[in-house]
Amino acid sequence: MLLAIDIGNSNVTLGVFQGQRLRMRVKASVQTRRSADEYAAMFYDLLRLHGIGREEIDGCILSSVVPAVTGLVEAAARTVAAVPVVRVGPGMRTGFRIRIDDPSQLGSDIVADTLAALTEYGAPLVLIDAGTVTTVAAVDESRTYLGGCIVPGIRPSAEMLKETTALLPAIELAGAEEACLGRNSADAIRRGLLWGSAMMIDGFIGRFTALPGMAGAVCVATGGSGELVTALCSREVIRDPDLTLKGLRCLYEANRPRQKAR
């Protein structure tokens, strides 16, 4: 079995693959104060909770956008799984070209997302990863990652409004609001965020699909807020919450021979 770990700004997601089947998927909060041993104990308990023994893990891959936590989680994974950990980074075989100023700056989660989306849905594509930040990216018909845009995530935006304004209320973001006009402050904030996100995504899709090599692009969304951000889009968007984990499995398979040869 393959243990795939994705460290995001808010959560660490663990997935266990038995072949191509995702057998387990769990999330835990990212905490820089946890020690490697504490992460190891948590991972061990989560595996046992899902009926998976540590001896069943024969491979591990890790992606991270939080450098302060990366080493701790990697050490924890080595302790629990007792196998080498493949870390997503520059020099890996990705199966697609990256046409940005510095390819090493492309987040490992976006690398995984892109490979999984290309594998399952083909090219061209518009990729949306909505979490603490929302990234919208374009991959053309030649499987070239052209670049993208990064904006604040919908949930941090809601928190920022509450923290920086004296009179606006706290709100809960859940479900799609059919009407775009709010009749009170809480509704106006909620609908503004939900409809604003949808209009933004629709706008990006329109601009991206007008680029050379992007006609007819499939639109795929993932991330913890992927459904919220795209629920009111007028464009068709495929939602795949497991996209990053699927991409990590693909990256592991593509790079395992080279890792063994070292």
Q: Are strands 125-130 and 133-139 parallel, antiparallel or unpaired?
A: antiparallel
Asked if 194 and 231 count as a contact pair (C-beta separation under 8 A), the reply is yes
Among candidate residues 211, 201, 9, 217, the one with its CA nearest the CA of residue 99: 211
Burial of 101 (0-12, 13-18, 19+ CB in 10 A): exposed
Catalytic residue among 6, 37, 102, 109: 109
CA-CA-CA-CA dihedral for 201, 206, 212, 216, to nearest 10? 90
Q: Hey, which residues does 28 pair with through a beta bridge?
A: 12
Residue 99 carries which DSSP code?
Answer: -
Residue with tokens 């509704």: 187
202: annotated active-site residue:
no
Q: At what angle do helices 243-261 and 108-121 cross, to 10 degrees?
A: 100
Question: Where does residue 25 rank: exposed (0-12), middle (13-18), buried (19+ CB within 10 A)?
Answer: middle
Quickly list H helices, 50-129.
67-81, 108-121
Catalytic positions:
109
